[in-house]
Amino acid sequence: HQDKYTNVQDFAWYIDILILLGHRRGISSDNASYLQSQLTDVTLRVLPVRTYAVRRCMEIVMEEDYRTTQGSIHSSSTDNLKGLLPSQEQQQSPPHDNGYGKHIMVELLPSVAWIVGEYSDLVRDATELEFDDDDDDDHAPLQLPRGIYHSLIHAMLAPTTIMNQLCTTTQSIYVQAAMKIFAAATADSQCQDTELETCVD
């Protein structure tokens, strides 16, 4: 429907709300699936907000890499825990926060990875987005010690990341996204040869 988002005046705000809810605990599986579909749909349909959506999804991807050893994953619904959680020993560790005190729904991660991969040509622009001082607290700092592309690929594929604890369907989306990110890196004239080489090591 063309008038689906008629009442939404600020799509960056809407993306922020979806991601904020995605970091909340206790949301039902049905609502989590709705958040996932909305995040994908808005990014797909609303061109002016697409770079911003990529940036927010990059933040989540890098959160996952940052919090690798922080604890266990928490699904939004206990019905979805089977096959998604680490071992019992890992579950006994502290709550699986990302270093900023945030939880993330596993249901949201397929959309997050798809958006970063599908629009990987916007990764550099998304990285260089500037925010008002009032908005700084709403955005996790991007930790990119390996370079933009290598850091994202590492966060999605390295065996020490959250990826090992996800279902195979989500893992496959991560792998496909990583391949698209590498393709974007090869097309980016600002990406150094050394970074490209490390991406395939």
Q: What is the pLDDT along the chain (201 residues), one digit of tens a residue?
A: 556 777 778 899 999 999 999 888 888 888 888 999 999 999 999 999 999 999 999 998 887 654 443 333 444 443 433 333 333 333 333 334 443 445 788 889 999 999 999 999 999 999 988 776 555 556 666 767 778 899 899 888 876 556 667 788 988 999 999 999 999 999 999 888 888 888 887
Amino acid at 73: I
pLDDT of residue 49: 95
Residue 173: per-residue pLDDT: 94
pLDDT at 87: 38
**What's the pTM value of the predicted model, to 2 decimals?**
0.77
- When computed from its CA atoms, the radius of gyration of the chain, rounded to whole angstroms, is 16
Which structure tokens are listed for 73?
A: 């994953």
Residue 95 sits at φ, ψ, to 5 deg, of: -50, 145
Whether residue 71 contacts residue 165, with contact meaning beta carbons closer than 8 Å, is answered with no
